[in-house]
Chain A
C-alpha cells in the first residue's frame, strides 16, 4: 500500500504541476475562466477553440494521445495532475467529442489513411465534432438504434435521425453509429461512420432545454445523406464494440472529481465571504455540517478513483462505473447546495445581460442554471441506472 503522494509529489511531478499552473496563470483568458467558474459546461465554439489552440501551442493539446499521433505522451499521473490543475484553475474541459472520444478511437481502430485525414484537424482544434449515438427510442437501450444505412456502391446512404446530439448545432463533423443490418442480434449490424455535417440531406433542429443555459442539444435528421465508404471506422457491423470503447474511453475524469473539488472550494469561499446576520455562513453549524458531508462524499470518490487508477491497474473493468455513479451524485449535491445557500435570491433565473442585476443576483442565477443543467450528468454517458446495471453484472456477477 505505497503512499500515492510519493507518486504525485515526486520531483518530476512537482515540476509538471508547476508548468501547468504557470500555463494557466499566463495564458488562460479571463473571460473563459469566468465562465468556467460560473459552472458553464458548454462554452462557445470560439472559446473552446481559443483555449485548445493555446494548449496546442504549449504542447498540451490532446493530452492522452501518444507522441506519434501528436499528443504529449503523458504518464498516468501527469494526466491526473493536468486534469486536476485545469479544474482548479478554471480551464475549460477538453473538446470532448474530438479530443477525448473520437481521437483515441481512430488511433485504436482507424486505418493509417483515416488517421492522417482526421487526427490533425482534432489536434489543431480546427474540426469540431459531435456524437451521433442516441435516438428517440434508443437511449439507455442504445443497441436498439434504428437510424438506417444502406450500401450503394462506394457510398452509404443514411435515412433517419439522431437525438440529444450535444453541440450538433456547432459541429463540423459527426461520428455516429448506424444500422446496416437488422437481421441478427441488435448489437450486430451496427456500423461506425464519420460524416460531414454540411453533407446534403443533414438538418439540425436545436432543442431548447428548461435550465436557461441556451442551446446544447439537438435532433439531427438524415434524408438520403451520402457517406463515402472510406469514412467507415472498423468493419461493417463492428460499430457496437467501437462505440462502447468510445463511451469508456474517459478513464480520467468522467466522475468529474476535480471539477467537483473546484466547485466545493468555490462554495466554501462563498460561505466565508458571505454574511448572514453579521456572521459568515461557514460559522453556521448546520451549513458547516452540510459542507463537511459534501467533502466526505467527494473524498470517498476521489480516494476510490486514485485507488483504481494507481493500484488496480489493468484489472480495472466494470468497477469504474461506480466512479461515474457516485461522482455525478456528489457533483449534483454540491451544485444543489450552491443554489440553496444563496438565500432568498436562490430562485432567480436571469438572462446573461439582464439590465441592472447586482453581482449577488447574477451569481445566484448562475448557481441555479448550473444546478439544473448538471442534472444531465446523471443521465448522459450511461445514466446512473445503466451504471448500476453494469455494476450488477460486471462487479457482482448478477
Chain B
C-alpha cells in the first residue's frame, strides 16, 4: 500500500521482473523452504540475484543498495531465502577484497542459486557482539590453525564455505573456511521462519595460507558487512509489512460481522492507518540505511542510519505483523493461511543482526561518545 517506492526507470524494471518471477511460486504451495529455494532458482535464471554485485560479477554496479529491488518483492510474498546471507554480506566483504578469488567464486555460485558462503560470527554467550573473542587462529608454518565455535550460523547447513571472524594475536581477523575441511563439525537446527541455523565447531582445523582475507582491517570490514546485512534485511521487512497490511485490508473488506464489513468500522480503519503510516516510514528509513552503505559515507554516520532503521523497523515490523494477525482473528492463527509466515519472518528479522534493543544501545553509545 506504499504510494511510491521512489525508484527510477531501471530500478522499476528490475523490481517488476522480480515481482513477476516470484508471484507464481508464492501461490503454488509447498513448504516455506521449498518456496524459497524455488524463488532463488527462478531469480538466478533471470540473472537478477547478482544485481548488487559489481559489474564484473554480473551485477548492476550501483552498489549494495540495489539488493532492495530483490528483497522487497521477496518480502511482499513472504519468500524466505538466504539472499542477505549469501549475496549481500559476502558482497560487502568483497568490496574490501575484490581480488580474493575464492570469495569471488562463492559469490558467483550464490548468484546462480548455488551453495555460496555465509558469515559465521556469533559466539555463544556474547549476544550480538560483533568482535570475535573465543574463536582463534594461529600461524603454523605455511598454514593457519583455527580453533573455536560459532553459534547459530544462518543457512549454515547449505553453505560451501564460511567467512569466519576470528582472533589472531588479540586482533580481529577474517578467514574463508571451506565447509568440507577436516575438523569442521556442523550441527543444525530449524528456526521459526523456516530457516536452518548451524552451530559450527572448528577442531584445530588446518587452513591454507591464503585463507586469511584481511590485512589488519577486519574490524572495519566486519562492521561494514554486518551493517550491510542489517540494513538490507530491512527491505525484505518492509515488503513483509506492506504485504501483511494489504492482506489485512483485503480481508477486512470481505469479512462481515454485526451486519457490516469490518473495513467500515472506524476503530479498525484507524488501526490499519497506524500500520500504513509505520510502513511508509519504514521504507523511508530502510532506504536511508541502504544509501548509507555507499563507501564514501563515514562509518559513524552509517552506523547511526543503519541502527535507527533497524531499531524502528524491528519494532514496527512486528507491530504490523501482530496487528494484521489480531485483525484477521482466528483464521490468521492457522498454518494454511499465509499470514503466520509473515509474522514469523518479521519477528526473525528483528531478532537478527542485533535486535532493536541492541541497536538502540549502539545509538546511545554513539550519542554519548560525541560528548
Chain A residues within 8 Å of B, Cβ to Cβ: 1-3, 268, 272, 280, 282-283, 285, 288-289, 291-293, 295-297, 299-301, 303-304, 306-308, 311-312, 315-317, 319, 322, 325-326, 385, 388-389, 391-392, 395-398
In whole angstroms, how far apart are the Cα atoms of A388 and B269 in the complex? 8
Q: Assess whether A395 is in contact with B1, with CB atoms less than 8 Å apart.
A: yes
Q: Give the shortest distance, in Å, between B291 (CB) and chain A (any CB).
A: 6
For B360, list chain A residues within 8 Å (CB).
Answer: 289, 292-293
Q: Assess whether A1 is in contact with B65, with CB atoms less than 8 Å apart.
A: yes
Over the window 62-77 of chain B, the binary record of Cβ atoms lying under 8 Å from chain A Cβ atoms (1 yes, 0 no) is 0001001000000000
Which of B45-53, B128-136, B361-369 makes up part of the contact surface?
Answer: B361-369
Q: Assess whether B364 is in contact with A303, with CB atoms less than 8 Å apart.
A: no
Q: Assess whether A388 is in contact with B249, with CB atoms less than 8 Å apart.
A: no
Q: Give the shortest distance, in Å, between A280 (CB) and chain B (any CB).
A: 7
In whole angstroms, how far apart are the Cα atoms of A285 and B361 in the complex? 8
Over the window 270-291 of chain B, the binary record of Cβ atoms lying under 8 Å from chain A Cβ atoms (1 yes, 0 no) is 1011101100111111011001
Q: Assess whether A282 is in contact with B371, with CB atoms less than 8 Å apart.
A: yes
Q: Assess whether B364 is in contact with A1, with CB atoms less than 8 Å apart.
A: no
Q: Assess whether A285 is in contact with B284, with CB atoms less than 8 Å apart.
A: no
> Is B11 at the interface (CB under 8 A from chain A)?
yes
Q: Assess whether B371 is in contact with A395, with CB atoms less than 8 Å apart.
A: no
* Extra inter-chain contacts (9) besides given A289-B360, A296-B312, A300-B285, CB under 8 Å: A283-B371, A289-B364, A296-B363, A297-B312, A322-B273, A322-B276, A391-B273, A395-B1, A395-B273
> Is B56 at the interface (CB under 8 A from chain A)?
no
In whole angstroms, how far apart are the Cα atoms of A311 and B288 in the complex? 13
Main secondary structure of the interface of B (DSSP, over half): helix
8 A Cβ contacts from B335-371 to A: 360-361, 363-364, 367-368, 371
Q: Give the shortest distance, in Å, between B216 (CB) and chain A (any CB).
A: 31
Q: Assess whether B277 is in contact with A396, with CB atoms less than 8 Å apart.
A: no
Q: Assess whether A303 is in contact with B285, with CB atoms less than 8 Å apart.
A: yes
Q: Give the shortest distance, in Å, between B261 (CB) and chain A (any CB).
A: 9
Q: How large is the interface on B (under 10, 10 to 19, 20 to 34, 35 or more residues)?
A: 35 or more
Q: Assess whether B288 is in contact with A303, with CB atoms less than 8 Å apart.
A: yes
**Quick one: closest A residue to B7, CB to CB?**
A1
Q: Give the shortest distance, in Å, between A206 (CB) and chain B (any CB).
A: 34
Q: Assess whether A396 is in contact with B1, with CB atoms less than 8 Å apart.
A: yes
Q: Assess whether A1 is in contact with B6, with CB atoms less than 8 Å apart.
A: yes
Q: Assess whether A296 is in contact with B6, with CB atoms less than 8 Å apart.
A: no
Given A2-B8, A326-B281, also A319-B3 (CB < 8 A): yes
The CB with the most chain B CB atoms within 10 A, among A288, A297, A315, A316, is that of A288
Say which residue of A3, A306, A307, A398 sits within 8 Å of B263 (CB atoms): A398
Q: Assess whether A307 is in contact with B284, with CB atoms less than 8 Å apart.
A: yes
Q: Assess whether A385 is in contact with B270, with CB atoms less than 8 Å apart.
A: yes
For A292, list chain B residues within 8 Å (CB).
Answer: 360, 363-364, 367
For A391, list chain B residues within 8 Å (CB).
Answer: 273, 276-277
In whole angstroms, how far apart are the Cα atoms of A115 and B367 in the complex? 51
Say which residue of B281, B291, B361 sits within 8 Å of A300 (CB atoms): B281
The CB with the most chain A CB atoms within 10 A, among B7, B311, B367, is that of B367
> Is B4 at the interface (CB under 8 A from chain A)?
yes
Q: Assess whether B249 is in contact with A396, with CB atoms less than 8 Å apart.
A: yes
List 5 A-B pairs, minimum CB-CB distance, nearest first. Answer: A311-B6, A303-B284, A300-B281, A288-B364, A392-B269
Q: Give the shortest distance, in Å, between B370 (CB) and chain A (any CB).
A: 9
Q: Assess whether A396 is in contact with B276, with CB atoms less than 8 Å apart.
A: yes
Can you list 20 residue pairs at the A/B interface with Cβ under 8 Å? A1-B8, A1-B11, A280-B371, A288-B368, A289-B360, A295-B363, A300-B282, A300-B312, A303-B284, A303-B287, A307-B4, A307-B284, A325-B277, A388-B270, A389-B269, A391-B277, A392-B269, A396-B269, A396-B272, A398-B253
Q: Assess whether A301 is in contact with B11, with CB atoms less than 8 Å apart.
A: no
The CB with the most chain A CB atoms within 10 A, among B273, B274, B360, is that of B273
For B249, list chain A residues within 8 Å (CB).
Answer: 396-398
Q: Give the shortest distance, in Å, between A373 (CB) and chain B (any CB).
A: 25
Q: Give the shortest distance, in Å, between A272 (CB) and chain B (any CB).
A: 6
